[in-house]
Amino acid sequence: MNLGLLLRIGAILFLTLLLVVPLAMIGGLTRERQARRDTVVQDIARSAAYAQTLTGPLLIVPYTRKVQEEQLDESHRAYTVTREVSGELRLLPATLDLAGRLDTEERRRGIYRARVFNADTTLTGRFEIPAHFGVADAASYRFGQPRLVLGISDIRGVGNALSLQANGTRVAFVPGTGTTLLPAGVQAPVVLADAAGAQGLEFGIGLQLTGTGEFQVTPVGRDTDVKLSSNWPHPGFTGEFLPRTRAIGAAGFTADWHTSFFATNLEEALSRCEPQDSGKQPACADFLARHFGVSFVDPVDQYLQSTRAVKYGFLFIALTFAGFFLFEVLRQFSVHPVQYALVGFALAMFFLLLLSLSEHIGFARAYGVSAASCVALIGYYVAQILRSRASGAGFGAALAVLYALLYGILVSEDYALLMGSLLLFALLAMAMVLTRGVNWFGLGRAEPRT
């Protein structure tokens, strides 16, 4: 192998590394456009409502309690002091049933879009209230007005005048929860019988709610049943509990969940939800984090797919240059480094075309148009370099197969590594078979064609 061939191989490797620069710039542009899209989505959500999480209803019972404490005077003699402390009892429902229809609509701002849902839900259930609200030393307690509290993460999304149907009586909700347990939501007073005896409280709430991105439910009932349906055909089921049954089709989806307090353990989490220190917020993260629901995010994120495609850009360029070099070896034809560079920049332009077109026509169509354009351009160029239409068509066909395999890797996240490994092995095997009879020591002595 002569010095000229080694220099040409070195030039090819240098060009391959040099093309990392435009690939990195395209990757940075992709992240910039993605950040811009996320900002616009947040602006749309800010004008409508953010993702929604329903927590409750809970029965909150305020109380004051007499507490006796021993203290020491200046002579270190003990004496008893009686003082009153305030607090609240928090009771979870025995049963909670939520049924809702969530229809989505698309809101655009320029070329960007966000998916907003309008939920029409009904919450029904029953509280089983023990005597004296479950406290042991009832004589030292003085109970205030009980109220039903429903936590709504973004109250701006409430679309109707909320009212509570409790034991046959209708009461209007008012904004605010009055408890540090739920930072946002609504509350309504309830009238109960004498607290000295056990009693039940049946409730019903009709709630119309707007949100963006996700709808979540905290299963506060000892037994919680949630049934949701929507016209959105690409749901993402999120949270700590998956649906018991689901049906997804082109017209939308239906799903239902069932949980019990054995699985959620929310009663224990709620009992631990007490202030860590005086004046600080309650340590309720464990209680508030146990929810489930559905997301309405588009299944194909063109920016994520474009970013993944750019990550394969270096490999793609290297394989194409390797194909060029095989043409040189097998046909004893020299390709100038400038011609390598032009083909490499054409391959880099594919990723820029993919990014710009996917913002308007979707990722799949953008990939097809960009790949077809680059295959046609490079196939024509190779045909002119080699002065053979057949060679140009063959190289273009091989490049088209490579684009198709790359698309398969991009859309098959679970099998991307397997498909990539098989592709590299197949290409290596093909190169070894095609060059099995090449005399590498004598390569490069032929004069280049002009």
pLDDT digits (tens, 9 = 90+) for 172-204: 999 999 888 888 999 999 988 777 778 889 999
Task: Characterize the bridge pairing of strands 223-230 and 252-260.
Answer: antiparallel
Task: Give 424's DSSP letter.
Answer: H
The Cβ of residue 387 has, within 10 Å, a number of other Cβ atoms equal to 10
| Residue 332 pLDDT class (50, 70, 90 cuts) | low
- In DSSP terms, which residues pair with 72 in a beta bridge? 78
pLDDT digits (tens, 9 = 90+) for 113-172: 778 899 999 999 999 998 888 888 878 888 889 999 999 999 999 988 889 999 888 999
What are the two backbone dihedrals, phi and then psi, of residue 111, each rounded to the nearest 5 degrees?
A: -90, -5
Mean pLDDT of 216-222: 93
Residue (of 358, 368, 298) closest to 26 by Cα position: 358
DSSP string, 157-205: GB-S--EEEETTEEEE-EE--SSTTSSSEEEEE---S-TTS-EEEEEEE
pLDDT at 312 > cutoff 60: yes
pLDDT digits (tens, 9 = 90+) for 351-390: 999 999 988 888 889 999 999 999 999 889 888 887 778 8
Domains of the chain: 3-38+302-442 (no CATH), 52-69+77-295 (2.60.40)
pLDDT at 89 > cutoff 60: yes
Whole-number pLDDT of residue 299: 66
What are the two backbone dihedrals, phi and then psi, of residue 80, each rounded to the nearest 5 degrees?
A: -100, 135
| Residue 97 pLDDT class (50, 70, 90 cuts) | very high
